[in-house]
């Protein structure tokens, strides 16, 4: 039973364009969401997060949008750069509880120069 789903295994985008990575969740108890970036042979690196009290959080080129009613979030990267090529994982947890992060399967982003 996958509680966090990333339905696109891969995505290719031209350098300078916008990358949009999507994530859906099924557990309505989740109220805190994170995105991680992972390069080969390295551990995941925290990128950006959002609490369910917000619908948008921005950090430089990265913006996360949350649609609670649809149980959907997305990560926008603009402009995309070749160094953004990596696997991106969406993760969810409960803000006040002791729930470990639940991860999606990841989306491999390739930014083409």
Partner 1 sequence: NAGVMQNPRHLVRRRGQEARLRCSPMKGHSHVYWYRQLPEEGLKFMVYLQKENIIDESGMPKERFSAEFPKEGPSILRIQQVVRGDSAAYFCASSPLNRLGGYTFGSGTRLTVV
CA–CA gap between residue 108 and residue 97 (Å, rounded): 30
Contact region for partner 1 (CB under 8 A) — 17-25, 40-48, 60-68, 70-78?
40-48
CA–CA gap between residue 23 and residue 72 (Å, rounded): 6
Question: Binding pattern to partner 1, positions 55-84, x when CB under 8 A?
Answer: ------------------------------
Q: Which of 34, 64, 66, 77 binds partner 1 (CB under 8 A)?
A: 34
The reply to whether 104 sits near partner 1 by the rule CB under 8 A is yes
Residue 93 pairs in a beta bridge with 32
Nearest to 3 by CA among 107, 92, 100: 92
* 8, 107 contact by CB (below 8 A): yes
* Interacting residues with partner 1 (CB under 8 A): 4, 6, 32, 34, 36, 41-46, 49, 51, 89, 93, 95, 98, 100-106
């Amino acid at each position: 039973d996958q509680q966090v789903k990333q339905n696109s295994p891969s995505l290719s985008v031209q350098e300078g364009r916008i990358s949009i990575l999507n994530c859906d969740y099924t557990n309505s108890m989740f109220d805190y969401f994170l995105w991680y970036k992972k390069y080969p042979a390295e551990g995941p690196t925290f990128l950006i997060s959002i609490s369910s009290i917000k619908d948008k959080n921005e950090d430089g080129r990265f913006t996360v949008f949350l649609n609670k009613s649809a149980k959907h979030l997305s990560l926008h990267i603009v402009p995309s750069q070749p160094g953004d090529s990596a696997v991106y994982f969406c993760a969810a947890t409960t803000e006040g509880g002791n729930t470990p992060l639940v991860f999606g399967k990841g989306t491999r982003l390739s930014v083409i120069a």
